[in-house]
Amino acid sequence: MAVVFDEKKALFTLYTKNSMYQMKKDDLGVLLHTYYGRKTENTDYSYLIYCKDRGFAANPYDAEKNRTYSTEILPQEYSCFGTGDYRTSALRIRGAGGCRVLDLRYENCEILEGKYTIPGMPAVYAQEGDSAKTLVVTLKDKAEDIFVHLYYGVMENLDMITRAVRIENRTAQPVYLEKAASMCLDQIYGSYDWMTFYGKHEMERQLSRTPVHHGLQSVGSVRGASSHHYNPFVILADHRTGETQGECYGFSLLYSGNFLAEAELDQANQTRVVMGIHPDNFDFELKAGDDFWTPEAAMVYSCGGFEKMSQIYHYAYRNNLCRGKYKKARRPVLMNNWEGTYFDFTGDKLVEMAKEAAALGVELFVMDDGWFGKRDDDFSGLGDWYVNEKKLGCTLGKLSERIHGLGLKFGIWFEPECVSEDSDLYREHPDWAFQIPGRKPVRGRYQLVLDFSRQDVRDHVFAQMCEVLDHAEIDYLKWDFNRNITDIFSAALPAHRQGEICHRYVLGLYDFLEKLINRYPNILLEGCSGGGGRFDAGMLYYSPQIWCSDDTDAIERLKIQYGTSFAYPISAVGSHVSASPNHQTGRKTPIATRATVAMAGTFGYELDPMKLSEEEKTEIREQIRVYKGYYDLIQDGKYYRITDPYRDEAFTVWEFAAEDGSEALVSAVSVKTYPNAAPVYVKLRGLLEDKFYVMNGERYLGAALMYGGFRLPAFRGEYQSWNFHFVLEK
């Protein structure tokens, strides 16, 4: 039973394979959070709650003389503002009279078969055989007809609980949402670390781990996209938790826009986590009778360290979030021309490159930025999605034919959300770009952002894209977004609704993507935003892979891909071999190492194959052959972070192990070299303890490799790499 409602005790308990989540309606009808953690049977955890008069605490009127009852100490299931809980709140609504006070009390509940969905927004879905249930707990403001429906998706087999909130205005007046978080979690006690993933363009998802301290700490984005700078995924971990042991909680927001993730340690050493749409510049009108859905948050509890948590996310996101043909179908090895040519190409040049690529074993050739409008640099052309036949020397249909004639699939790049001032689109519709009347717009990469909150704008761009896609054989589409939003003003909304734009923008983006994937179900979509500027679970609902970073330096990628792997599956991580010296860092690395690192993702190349030596070509042919052989193991196997690139200086090591333990691929890259170096040993994982494995003719017992370890080779010179393939002895 994934959801148990004990009416007598007013207790709701959610069970997944290994976790348990609990809340209780108290005598005043306040919904208290009692527990989230390891699964135990038949436990009412409200015994952990301790009430005491703490002084300066607010007591609800109906608590009467009980001065120990205060919502600022009691663990709240979904905290609201203005009635005594002074910690950060999940919900703040401005009523018609201007007052922001809410007092949410239990109204009713419903247990539904299957997993709820959210109209127009991404959500984890259940598949045949998944035992999924939905619990809806409805709270209502004590005075006004504001209803708050808390949705819990209990994905028992996946070991995941999802949450979303629907807020309903049944009053006769409009009300305004100022903050509407997707989740709130109060942990009664615990000594936690707060782990977040920060970064910048060309250096995304760097891990930060700090103790939760008194007061508020948060990460978020007000950039209109989830951003390179902070990822909408955070972890709350016990101080002692490591890769393979200890307790931790993952919180992943399925949302691609402004978000806020907060942690607060309060006066009683309780920890609150709140996550959802960023409240800054958010002011959403809810007319009488309307409702509002928050995005979904997916929570995972692990008592087996970060590794277990990540593997739960990987499996769930690969199987129960990604959709479409390429969720399961083999992703082609691609070659993208961006770092090979940048804007400087012709159709003939691309065909020449594609010919070489085909001879190397590449399966998909991608024409990146520069094929449309007037686009020979990044100062013009965005918004004019018609083929520059002069530059290509032929129609797109013809070019796709030529590429297909080489036995390759063909893909192209789009940046539908942006516009250059030097474009026909902008000249015709300047008000379609975000800008404020009377001010000059702020540029980013010398371009502006189109107001995708508007249906007419989206329809126009969609029609342009269809015109292109319908006249050529396109197998792959890279969807880019190369700046963040400023000048937030929509000509289509009245003054008092300008605070809705950023959320409406994301809804518009999702609406567009949904239409696109429905119309072109055979196209493989790769998300991108200047690399990994919108690498989030929301985008994975539409594009099963996302370009991980514009930094293609193999050594930098070790940390970027390490951070990315905490929440996101390998099959989502776009990763390419590029030229050396690397274009972003100038670092020189062997092509074998670049391939080893790129293989921990959806593999491809991003260089000019005409510039490769014969030796490199031979090596690439071999790399592609090897990658194809490991494909299933890499994409579907369990991923293990064997070393921590922030701590282990000599080597970065990771492993893919087949679910059934039949084989494992261990990849190692040397990042630092020492004289007279000490040997480095690693312990493998995910093997069958009592079985023997063979690697390079040597026999090893699974348990020995896991508990005794394995010595990495001695080496001279940095940036070498090794792939060790352990196969179960027959």
Site pattern 473..512 for ligand GLA (x: CB under 6 A): -------x-x------------------------------
Residue 106 sits in the site that holds ligand GLA (CB under 6 A): no
Which whole-number Å values give the CA distances from 68 to 55, 73, 89, in the listed order? 9, 9, 21
Which residue in 103, 264, 480, 536 is the catalytic one? 536
553 binds ligand GLA (CB under 6 A): no
Nearer to ligand GLA, 347 or 530 (CB): 530
Q: Which amino acid is at 164?
A: A
| List 616, 622, 644, 718, catalytic entry | 616
Q: Which amino acid is at 431?
A: D
Region 403-422 residues binding ligand GLA, contact defined as CB under 6 A: 413
Residues 306/308/312/317 CA torsion (nearest 10 deg): 50
Q: At what angle do helices 614-636 and 347-360 cross, to 10 degrees?
A: 70
Shortest distance, position 530 Cβ to ligand GLA, whole Å? 4
Helix axes 554-564, 591-598, angle to 10 degrees: 10
Residues 366-385 that bind ligand GLA (CB under 6 A): 368-369
Q: Which is nearer to ligand GLA, 528 or 567 (CB)?
A: 528
From the list 595, 598, 608, 605, the residue with the least C-alpha distance to 557 is 598
Minimum distance of ligand GLA from residue 682's CB (angstroms): 33
550 sits near ligand GLA (criterion: CB under 6 A): yes
Q: Is 703 left (phi over 0), alpha (psi -120 to 50) or beta?
A: alpha
CB atoms within 10 A of CB 415: 24
The least distance separating ligand GLA from the CB of residue 338, rounded to whole angstroms, comes to 5
- Closer to ligand GLA by Cβ: residue 169 or 529: 529
Mark 311-350 with x for binding to ligand GLA (rule: CB under 6 A) and - for no binding: ---------------------------x------------
What is each CA distance from 63 to 26, 47, 66, in whole angstroms?
Answer: 11, 19, 5
Residue 503 Cβ, how far from ligand GLA at the closest point, in Å?
25
Residue nearest ligand GLA, CB atom distance:
369
- 186 labelled catalytic: no
Q: 511: which 2 tokens?
A: 């609406």
Using CB under 6 A, count the residues that bind ligand GLA: 11
Report the residue number, 228 or 278, with the smaller CB distance to ligand GLA. 228
Q: Is position 365 an interface residue for ligand GLA (rule: CB under 6 A)?
A: no
Q: How far apart are CA 374 and CA 388, in angstroms?
A: 7
Answer yes or no whether residue 531 interacts with ligand GLA by CB under 6 A: yes
Encode 11-23: b = buried (16+ Cβ within 10 Å), e = exposed: bbbbbbebbbbbb
Binding mask 687-716 for ligand GLA (x = CB under 6 A): ------------------------------
541-550 burial: b if 16+ Cβ within 10 Å, else e = bbbbbbbbbb
Of these, 279, 411, 530, 637, which contacts ligand GLA (CB under 6 A)? 530
CA dist 48 and 79 (Å) reads: 19
Query: 3-state SS string over 589-639?
Result: CCHHHHHHHHCCCEEEEECCHHHCCHHHHHHHHHHHHHHHHHHHHHHHCEE
Asked if 26 is an active-site residue, the reply is no
Stretch in the footprint of ligand GLA (CB under 6 A) among 19-27, 75-83, 344-352, 524-532: 524-532
- The tokens describing 254, both together, are 């399925």
Q: Which stretch binds ligand GLA (CB under 6 A): 310-318, 347-355, 356-364, 525-533?
A: 525-533
CB-based contact 561:553 (threshold 8 Å): no
Question: Would you say 336 or 643 has its CB closer to ligand GLA?
Answer: 336
The residues of the shown chain that bind ligand GLA, judged by CB under 6 A, are: 338, 368-369, 413, 480, 482, 528, 530-531, 547, 550
Residues tagged active-site? 536, 616
